[in-house]
């Protein structure tokens, strides 16, 4: 079964994603919660945080800005 469109996935690791899918990849707008409960909400491109988004770590620190290949990139706060 190919994941395509809007949906939710929960992995055995405790990670979960809710948002848009394209050919089994997180692609479009979505929210990913990793096993450590760190949260990324924003744009995905082929399973990677890319574009405008927000990342909240376990220390309560929030970064809002642009991401490229899962990393903050450029101007953000």
Instruction: State how far the Cα of 76 lies from the Cα of 72, in Å rounded to an integer.
Output: 8
Write down the pLDDT at residue 40. Answer: 98
Domains along the chain? 5-76 (2.20.110)
Instruction: State how far the Cα of 22 lies from the Cα of 27, in Å rounded to an integer.
Output: 6
39-45/5-10 β-pairing: unpaired
With contact defined as beta carbons under 8 Å apart, do 54 and 64 qualify?
yes
pLDDT surpasses 80 at 38: yes
Instruction: State how far the Cα of 70 lies from the Cα of 12, in Å rounded to an integer.
Output: 21
pLDDT in tens, 46-75: 999 999 999 999 999 999 999 999 999 987
pLDDT surpasses 80 at 28: yes
pTM for this predicted structure:
0.91
With contact defined as beta carbons under 8 Å apart, do 16 and 9 qualify?
yes
């Amino acid at each position: 079964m190919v994941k395509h469109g809007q949906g939710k996935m929960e992995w055995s690791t405790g990670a979960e994603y809710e948002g848009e899918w394209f050919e089994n990849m997180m692609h479009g707008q979505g929210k990913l919660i990793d096993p450590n409960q760190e949260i990324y909400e924003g744009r995905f491109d082929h399973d990677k945080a890319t574009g405008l988004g927000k990342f909240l770590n376990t220390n309560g620190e929030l970064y809002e800005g642009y991401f490229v290949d899962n990393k903050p990139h450029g101007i953000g706060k």
